[in-house]
Amino acid sequence: MPSNCIKTSKYNIVTFLPVNLFEQFQEVANTYFLFLLILQLIPQISSLSWFTTIVPLVLVLTITAVKDATDDYVSAPRAPLSWGCSPCVGHGDVGLGGGLRAWGGRTGLCGGGDAGAVVVVFRHKSDNQVNNRQSQVLISGVLRQEQWMNVRVGDIIKLENNQFVAADLLLLSSSEPHGLCYIETAELDGETNMKVRQAIPVTSELGDTSKLALFDGEVICEPPNNKLDKFGGTLYWKENKYPLSNQNMLLRGCVLRNTEWCFGLVIFAGPDTKLMQNSGRTKFKRTSIDRLMNTLVLWIFGFLVCMGVILAIGNAIWEHEVGVCFQIYLPWDEGVHSAFFSGFLSFWSYIIILNTVVPISLYVSSLLSALGAGEGVLGHVGVGAGQPRGRARDTESSLGPWEPGCPRGWGPGVGMRVPIAGSAEGAALPGDTWLCPPRSVEVIRLGHSYFINWDKKMYCAKRRTPAEARTTTLNEELGQVEYIFSDKTGTLTQNIMVFSKCSVNGHSYGDVQDMLGHKAELGERPEPVDFSFNPLADPRFQFWDPSLLEAVKLGDPHVHEFFRLLSLCHTVMSEEKSEGELFYKAQSPDEGALVTAARNFGFVFRSRTPKTITVHELGRAITYQLLAILDFNNIRKRMSVIVRSPEGKIRLYCKGADTILLERLHPANQDLTNVTTDHLNEYAGEGLRTLVLAYKDLEESYYEDWSERLHRASGAPEAREDRLARLYDEVEHDMMLLGATAIEDKLQQGVPETIAILTLANIKIWVLTGDKQETAVNIGYSCKMLTDDMTEVFVVTGHTVLEVREELRKAREKMMDASRSMGNGFSYQEKLSSTKLTSVLEAIAGEYALVINGHSLAHALEADMEVEFLETACACKAVICCRVTPLQKAQVVELVKKYKKAVTLAIGDGANDVSMIKRAQPSLGGAVTVPCAPGRTASPHVSLSTAAHIGVGISGQEGIQAVLASDYSFSQFKFLQRLLLVHGRWSYLRMCKFLCYFFYKNFAFTMVHFWFGFFCGFSAQTVYDQYFITLYNIVYTSLPVLAMGVFDQDPCCPRLVSCGRKGCSGLGWAGLSSSLLLAVAKAGSAPGCLGLEGGAQIAACPQDVPEQRSMEYPKLYEPGQLNLLFNKREFFICIAQGIYTSVLMFFIPYGVFADATRDDGAQLADYQSFAVTVATSLVIVVSVQIGLDTGFWTAINHFFIWGSLAAYFAILFAMHSDGLFQMFPNQFRFVGNAQNTLAQPTVWLTIALTTVVCVMPVVAFRFLKLDLKPELSDTVRYTQLVRKKQKTQHRCMRRVGRVGSRRSGYAFSHQEGFGELIMSGKNMRLSSLALSGFAARPSASWIETLRKKKSGEGSTACSPSGAPDKTLKV
């Protein structure tokens, strides 16, 4: 068996150098540099000194090695638990399962540690500390101290309160009644609420060491896997077998809470624990720019080879025709015997010289920044020290060896470490590593990530939660999103549930009434119901209909039974810290709201044990015997309890979704069902979440028979869940209807405004929710996804493939017919050609929405219909998918990714949203059975794939599972507009400008060698000094482009006149780039309503617009969606500009130097003077060019640009100084050359002429383009100038009314498993729970449109639309 010793470090003194070098040379860049170095070491090939390549290579290797050594020895500050750090869901190669036998084993003290922050952890020291922690191990009936590294599978260890669990344990017994214990799993899943675990009854009595010493049970269980919520096994003891589940397990990384002690049997340890199994690799997301770069690099490399071939052919021809005549003076090198072979060697020489054209140099240009930016944030996964090992007394059956595959903790970022787990154990997963050496691109992305983290406007003060970029690889893709897939509950809504209305026996309660008992008008709200008669009432609960309380007081039996059901049918835990002070801990806000409502109306859930529930009914304590809990899951969509009253009557109480329960009612309920359905429709008109309540009386004999079958199914080794589901379905039939509840889930603040602005940015929003169609539709209207201005809202509800296909066909036909009949001047073909559409449906006129149910969606996602569904949905402005499962959410996202060339973003807040944010796909299905014999069965291999391109997690009421799986996280949906329209657009703009400039400067630098080859006999002689070649990308041009890539943004105002704000440069360098439009724009121009209605459709360079304009003019976001700023066309333009610059850079000085003389009349032309002139011209031209490209100037930009120029001249004069010549006479021979050359006026005139000729066409082109074909951003900036001269336009605020009633969604969202937990004795002893206060409904006002501006017109007002509801059911 593998050792239990934990090793989080990769290296030691002996292995560091070879292992680290081996890892580094697996990178393409380092291998490329090594290949160039080898070529340069061949004298017949290289015309450059070896140090021009070895210096950057050694610099890369050294910096990376130092970083790796530091990371391996000292881990960075550990992420606080509030970050929700947890192991990234992944996979590693798993061990092979078998049985294990315990014979009075040994126990361990899980060296309890404080969960406080550990600032710096020395890995090797930490490894020793963790491995040498002392444990209480049961050996020969006596507890002995043993090191953690010596804990073995089959040992029995003892845990005490507040200690960490060192391995995956089977709970045997505890200090609590019924073998209960309480744990905190924040280290595993980020959830801070306590969970309960219980020993199986047969072992719960083994509370002392003498009994445990005699324990000789055998456990047959599943092999090690990464499923934190699943465990299957069987305990064989005393000729009986007992089923084991996850509720009997204590997983490594958990903390024992509120339990004095417990004993556990080690099942998995070390790498086999579920914590370690979750520490595998994730599949990293890559942006469209990354994918394009892969193609461009191949093209550039092919171009490099072509240039080498051309010059090699030229060399062979020149040597054959001309060089042969000069053999006396220019003999061939030794070993060269023909012109052909000379050309072959020349090819490799030019590959060396021209290699800078390949953007591998991106790896080098960030080295000066790598020291500061390369540290990142290192999180470490909480791992203890427990690994399985066989013992003589434990080896009857054993676990197979762990096969190391991918046991490393990887953060989601490239070039940046992000927190992947927080552990008070202070250890880190082995093998933490960077994916690549620090690059310029990664430094820029890292800076963008910090800007997101530091954005105060995305900080939620109420929850003290900042926005967090959990990856560095996707920032620019935030500026290219076309589709957003959003959950509803907790994402668009607050997930704070309020009991609002109910229907009991056909009577509806909850309408707000005035003093005369009439229904109050909107805005009128009298005093809430007085619950002072009930000393146990929750003072925060409010209800507005006193008639319901009167019905309770009058003893209405249906109302009493209604609230009795609410007080009994749940999995809520109660804690009473003082007399009458109750605190409820509910799995979901829905359950908490329902139990609290029953509490206030006199049916107070007071306490529970594994077999009883105590309720105070109108002041009288009644204890019900809890016979069974039929637990909730996403398939059943209901839960039930079976209780025995004090009178001996057995009754089943059930609550669930109406689509499930209504079909399980007794036929005698038909009339009541019709009335209740009408009430459901009424509640749905207000967007409320509903549950239907029902009951059923059971005969004693039937229950006994059913209970026996249930017991057998619970212990079934195979198909346990299926057998239980059939039994549950059997008993939950022919029920009697009681009524329905309606719960309000309020919208988050700013949701309507956010959706409106994102929609105007041409982003299509799809809501994927598990709620009913009616609830989702009403929320859609509330958040302005659906409006009465829409042409049609199609509702697809077909139950068969043919019905769904027909409904989708009708929807498409109506859209096409409406588009043809409008005839409003809409340019169909122009619209179609301006976007990358795959269907003509997307160019139709009018606004449409699609609503589809889960059962219809299941058919629509079938292979033969998915394209039809996608075409119909993509033609709609908004899509709402209801009653969808987590898997269907991921399938919808994958469908759009599969057929649309568009960037997708998924946002959610709960565990059911993880599937569309980051989905795990098992490659093998079914359960794995582990035999008792040593034979081995492989576990399912789980690999991670990504669903949406970008995943966003909302840290809300449902834990942080979605946050842990996300790429970005924040606390409120409204922050999404800033993330996309500001940070995303800026990141995309910066990255595109960076790449364009980088290609330009490298081609301008490299192609000079190509032209020089035609004048030097193709001899591979370089134009520049070799030191200049070495320093060009490292010193002279690296920092300015980095500053632009990191800090560039929209300037604050039109810059004909500087506003004085920091960064606004008036007519500075950036003023030449695009703001010159303002000088040539016609005063009478009439900019359209930009980005809103009828405005400009072309958006190709959205720069120079203030930050707030990014959200005021959402159309500025479109260039990223259309990928306009960096594509193959822009790439070739940059290359053409670089080649043009190189031609002028070479031929202007060449022509001048042909006849120029010095001041003393001597010939000016010489090789070194020419080199200095060309190099100086190059540095100045590329510096001027980056000044033109910089849109927002900071002190850092100024310092880097002017500092780079100063550094060039300083280094240039130093290299030609007498001092260096005296120290290195063989390297610096040309003493005084720079001083003499730059002292000549002719040289400076040549440099000035070259600079002007290189730059002026760019300036002229931008002048003409801005005047003749202004872009949307230019029009926006012109609008700002016009607004200074005109009266400020009034924005219209309008509210959209609607009519019609819709059904509501079921309010039931908690997880499966708590019913079984309670029935097995898992009653929680909880800390105080204060239910969240109910926030007021946010304002519904929002900016819907900006009217088209016309010169000379005053402000206009918009009339609210009173159009009728246009929902069409097809």
Report the Cα 862 to chain-centroid distance in Å.
28
Q: How many Å apart are CA 1153 and CA 1147, to the nearest integer?
A: 10
State the Rg of the chain over Cα. Answer: 36
Q: How many Å apart are CA 736 and CA 698, to the nearest integer?
A: 12
Q: How many Å apart are CA 316 and CA 344, to the nearest integer?
A: 8
Q: How many Å apart are CA 693 and CA 1041, to the nearest integer?
A: 65
Q: How many Å apart are CA 140 and CA 214, to the nearest integer?
A: 9
Residue 272 has what DSSP assignment? G
Contact 509, 548 (CB under 8 A): yes
Pairing of the two strands 1305-1306 and 689-698: parallel
Characterize 315-343 residue by residue with b for buried, 16 or more Cβ atoms within 10 angstroms of its Cβ, and e for exposed. bbebbeeebeeeeeeeebeeeeeebebbb
Instruction: Name the percent of the chain in helix, strand, coil, to the closest 5.
Output: 40, 15, 40
Q: For the sheet with 468-469, list strands across it.
A: 468-469, 968-970, 950-954, 903-908, 481-486, 764-768, 878-881, 848-852, 792-796, 1367-1369
- Give, in order, the Cα–Cα distances in Å from 712 to each of 3, 236, 241, 242, 1050: 39, 16, 12, 11, 69
Q: How many Å apart are CA 286 and CA 264, to the nearest integer?
A: 44
H helix or E strand, kind and range, residue 1069: helix 1069-1073
Q: Whole-structure pTM over 0.75, yes or no?
A: no
- Count other Cβ atoms within 10 Å, centred on residue 958: 26
pLDDT score of 736: 94
Phi, psi for residue 220 in degrees, rounded to 5: -110, 120
Q: How many Å apart are CA 410 and CA 428, to the nearest integer?
A: 11
Phi, psi for residue 1343 in degrees, rounded to 5: -85, 105
Angle between helices 1038-1047 and 1167-1189 (to 10 degrees): 10
pLDDT score of 1298: 40
Q: Degrees (nearest 5) of the Cα angle 660, 665, 671? A: 115
Q: Which single residue is written with the structure tokens 């022919």?
A: 734
- Count other Cβ atoms within 10 Å, centred on residue 1117: 30
Q: How many Å apart are CA 414 and CA 418, to the nearest integer?
A: 9
Residue 179 has what DSSP assignment? G
Q: How many Å apart are CA 1138 and CA 1128, to the nearest integer?
A: 15
pLDDT score of 1307: 52
- 289: closest CA among 1117, 1190, 1131, 997? 1131
Q: For the sheet with 261-268, list strands across it.
A: 142-147, 134-139, 156-160, 261-268, 168-174, 249-250
Output the CA torsion sign for 304, 367, 412, 91: positive
Q: How many Å apart are CA 38 and CA 966, to the nearest integer?
A: 44
Q: How many Å apart are CA 362 and CA 441, to the nearest integer?
A: 7
Residue 199 has what DSSP assignment? -
Q: What is the mean pLDDT of each run of 10 residues along the chain (1370 residues)?
A: 66 83 77 79 73 71 78 49 32 32 34 34 67 81 82 89 87 86 75 76 86 89 83 87 88 85 89 73 69 85 92 90 78 78 88 82 43 33 30 29 28 29 31 40 86 90 86 87 88 83 92 62 67 89 90 93 94 78 79 92 89 91 92 81 94 90 91 92 79 94 92 77 88 93 85 89 89 77 82 88 92 81 45 42 75 89 90 90 84 89 87 70 30 30 56 76 83 91 91 92 93 90 86 88 87 42 37 34 34 33 56 85 90 94 94 83 83 94 92 89 93 87 79 87 93 93 81 69 55 40 47 56 37 31 33 36 39
Structure tokens that stand for 1215 in this block: 């290299």
Beta bridge partners of 583: 575
Coil, helix or strand for 855?
A: helix
Q: Which single residue is written with the structure tokens 């290359």?
A: 1135
pLDDT score of 292: 86
Q: How many Å apart are CA 425 and CA 427, to the nearest integer?
A: 6
Phi, psi for residue 617 in degrees, rounded to 5: -100, 105
Contact 505, 739 (CB under 8 A): yes
Contact 852, 860 (CB under 8 A): yes
Q: How many Å apart are CA 1156 and CA 459, to the nearest integer?
A: 64
Contact 608, 574 (CB under 8 A): yes
Phi, psi for residue 1217 in degrees, rounded to 5: -90, 160
Contact 466, 968 (CB under 8 A): no
pLDDT digits (tens, 9 = 90+) for 783-798: 888 887 888 889 998 8
Q: Is 487 a catalytic residue?
A: yes
Half-sphere exposure of 1132 (CA within 13 A, CB side): 3
Q: How many Å apart are CA 1286 and CA 1290, to the nearest integer?
A: 12
Phi, psi for residue 904 in degrees, rounded to 5: -110, 150
- 379: closest CA among 6, 84, 11, 5? 84
H helix or E strand, kind and range, residue 576: strand 573-578
Coil, helix or strand for 653?
A: strand
Q: How many Å apart are CA 876 and CA 841, to the nearest integer?
A: 9
Choosing from 394, 487, 909, 1189, which is the catalytic residue?
487
Contacts of 1266 (CB under 8 A, 6+ apart): 1074, 1076, 1077, 1080, 1274
Contact 263, 256 (CB under 8 A): no
Alpha helices by DSSP H, listed for 322-424, are 339-353, 367-373
pLDDT score of 295: 85
Contacts of 1172 (CB under 8 A, 6+ apart): 1025, 1212, 1233, 1234, 1237, 1238, 1243
Coil, helix or strand for 21?
A: helix
Output the CA torsion sign for 1217, 1223, 1228, 1229: positive
- 20: closest CA among 74, 69, 75, 70? 69
pLDDT score of 1331: 27
Alpha helices by DSSP H, listed for 715-771, are 720-731, 751-760
Contact 1190, 1069 (CB under 8 A): yes
Contact 406, 93 (CB under 8 A): yes
- Give, in order, the Cα–Cα distances in Å from 274 to each of 379, 1127, 1299: 19, 44, 53
Q: Which single residue is written with the structure tokens 């593998």?
A: 2
Q: What is the DSSP string of 672-698?
A: HHHHHHHHHHHHHTTT-EEEEEEEEEE
